[in-house]
Amino acid sequence: ILKTLNSWFWWENIWMPINCTWADFVDREGLVFPKPHQLYATIPYAFVLLIIRFFSERYVAIPLAKALGIKNVRRVKPQPNPVLESYFRECSRQPSQSEIKGLAKKCNCTVHLVEKWFRRRRNLEIPTVLRKFQEAFWRFSFYLTSSIVGFIFLYDKPWFYDIWQTWVGYPFQTLLPSQYWYYMAEIGFYWSLIFTLGIDIKRKADFMAHVVHHLAAIGLMSGSWCGNYVRLGTLVMFVHDTADFWLEAAKMFNYARWEKTCNILFIIFSIAFFITRMILFPFWILRATLYQPTYYSTTPVIAYFLFNGMLLTLQGLHLYWGYLIFKILKRFVFLK
């Protein structure tokens, strides 16, 4: 069954134009093409990034937070109590007064001690400001680095200025070393975010949106790698990263209570977000993926619909986040 599913998944008509086979993408005469098996390397790269994250958060983010005046608040742990811990996890984090009395009798202690235990236990679930700063610092560091490196990789490429160049010579476009490392780093980063979803700070407003975004990003980048849509893929990654580091910088200064700096950075982020996600992405990237391929092939492959479906999903997330950003800007302008 697995062998049959595998043959269906890698059927040429899904990934490439008519009269092309996987044999056409064997490296030859100095031409190098992306290969699906190379994506396995993104998993170990993700763990390398997690190691870098650990050291950067510990030895760079914490000293920087102290320099900005953020203190490490130590929360008092409640005394180990299996009965209360089980109730906290399985029943309620905020039991009623009658439930507290029942638990006090069960544990043979006073009502005051049970209330105190639940209060301390709830506090442990709330992330400290320092923890939030560390997470924002890591994302800021990656997005800033990837934006700078992405620009260095792309500024001298013709398709960075003329989007039609992304399709010239397709599908036999050779893979550049810079494109390989750009892809491996980006996919590895999003894998690392998936691996740490359980321990990273959960935001109720858009937690599921982030999960969908990470999975869609990995699916898009991996699929574009297999179909050799690498030129377009690098443009999509660059457009996304150039706005994100401004948001993470605003968060860092917000945690440090540098209000004016935070406000300025958030306004810059909002402008960058609306330019990249509401203008460049739909009218530059989506135009190149939806409209321009029809000039190069009269029979679109199945991957055309799959990739554009995921890109439209991303645009839906952009609209959702744009709505949230607009609400914050509205409060900032009218409610101070």
Intra-chain end-to-end CA distance of the chain, in Å = 61
Query: Which residues have C-beta within 8 Å of that of residue 66, sequence separation ≥ 6?
Result: 72
Determine which helix (DSSP H) or strand (DSSP E) holds 215, and give its type and residue range.
helix 207-226
Mind listing the pLDDT tens digit for each residue in 207-227?
A: 777 788 888 889 889 989 988
Greatest mean pLDDT range, 122-126, 128-132, 164-168, 268-272: 268-272
Mind listing the pLDDT tens digit for each residue in 266-299?
A: 999 999 999 999 999 999 999 999 888 877 765 6
Residue 203 has a CB neighbour count (10 Å cut-off) of 9
Mind listing the pLDDT tens digit for each residue in 14-27?
A: 777 777 888 888 88
Mean pLDDT of the chain: 87
Read off φ and ψ for residue 92, nearest 5 degrees.
Answer: -155, 140
Query: Which residues have C-beta within 8 Å of that of residue 298, sequence separation ≥ 6?
Result: none
Give the 3-state secondary structure of residue 308. Answer: helix
**What domains sit in the chain, N to C, each tagged with a CATH number?**
80-123 (1.10.10.60), 127-333 (no CATH)
Residue 228 falls in which region: left (phi positive, over 0), alpha (psi -120 to 50) or beta = left
C-beta of residue 254 within 8 angstroms of C-beta of residue 166: no
| pLDDT for res 233 | 93
| pLDDT for res 298 | 57
Entry pTM = 0.85
Residue among 251, 266, 299 at smallest CA distance from 129: 251
The residues facing 89 across adjacent strands are none
Residue 98 corresponds to which tokens in the numbers above?
A: 């009658």
Distance CA(217)–CA(232), nearest Å, equals 13
